[in-house]
Amino acid sequence: MPIIAPSLLAADFSNLRHEMGSVAEAPWLHLDVMDGHFVPNISFGMPVIKALRPHSRARFDVHLMIEPVDPYLAAVAEAGADHITVHVEGNAHLHRTLQSIHALGCKAGVAICPATPPEALSEVMDMVDIILVMTVNPGFGGQKFLHGQLAKIRTLAGMIRQSGRDIVLGVDGGIDETTTPLVTEAGATMLVAGSAIFGKDDRRAAVEGMRAAARPAVLAASGE
Ligand code: DX5
Ligand code: ZN
């Protein structure tokens, strides 16, 4: 069963506390922080995360699309992040960044953009807790899933198996009931979904629908 992480970016920003409550059955909440520099959009930051934190029991899965990232890690952890995911792109000292995230007591994630090869993560497999494959170019919700990323998900699933570590393999962008079977079959164990959940009136049904659409890689592999 994959972990479902609703992305608050697609929620009604005039009513965030209520929106967050509407997806309370999901174990993770995905929070997209954008700076208008690393990505061509600006979303929300630490004050919003901090204000929401007391009103949810979900794990706060913070996806930082900002550059530089290091100066803000402590503030993000303080605001209430349980997981901090940073991008491999534009970070010459990713290793140090992941060490800093762990030192702050958070799980460390690495996101990888569509144009970046999976090998970019090979030297951090011993320390990363979450890998987030971007299945769209980051910056906006509601974009079309990039099918070309399926091969990368498979490769990273293999690299995770080889590491022998319990690394969560997430996907982010264009994930809905149609793409869920494809990504889970390829090895994804965590699904970020914005529009596919907050775009529906019945959020509980949307989360359940995604769970039901999953085709876990174990089952797929047994048929190979
Ligand atoms: C995009 C963000 C995503 C976004 C996904 O840069 O990282 O988390 O909210 O939105 P959907 O699910 O609508 O593609
Ligand atoms: Zn995201």
pLDDT digits (tens, 9 = 90+) for 130-147: 999 999 999 999 999 999
pLDDT in tens, 41-100: 999 999 999 999 999 999 999 999 999 999 999 999 999 999 999 999 999 999 999 999
* Torsion of Cα atoms, 64 then 85 then 208 then 206, to 10°: 10
Which amino acids are annotated as binding site for a divalent metal cation, given as ranges? 30, 32, 63, 172
Q: What is the mean pLDDT of residues 104-113?
A: 99
Query: In which band, very low, low, confident or very high, does the pLDDT at 224 lie, cut at 50, 70 and 90?
Result: very low
Query: In which band, very low, low, confident or very high, does the pLDDT at 218 lie, cut at 50, 70 and 90?
Result: low
Which atom of ligand 1 lies nearest, measured to the CA of 194?
A: 12
Ligand 2 centroid to 200 CA: how many Å?
19
Which amino acids are annotated as binding site for substrate, given as ranges? 7, 63, 139-142, 172-174, 194-195
pLDDT value at position 178?
98
> What's the pTM?
0.97
Rounded-to-integer distance, Cα 22 and Cα 186, Å:
29
Q: What is the mean pLDDT of residues 201-219?
A: 91
Nearest ligand to the CA of 141 is: 1
Pocket (CB within 6 angstroms of ligand 1): 7, 9-10, 30, 32, 63, 136, 138-139, 141-143, 172-175, 192-196
Q: What is the mean pLDDT of residues 103-112?
A: 99
> Is it true that the peptide bond before 68 is cis, omega within 30 degrees of 0?
yes
Annotated catalytic residue 32: yes
User: pLDDT higher for 62 or 219?
Assistant: 62
- Res. 223: pLDDT tops 60: no
Q: What is the mean pLDDT of residues 119-132?
A: 98
pLDDT in tens, 143-169: 999 999 999 999 999 999 999 999 999
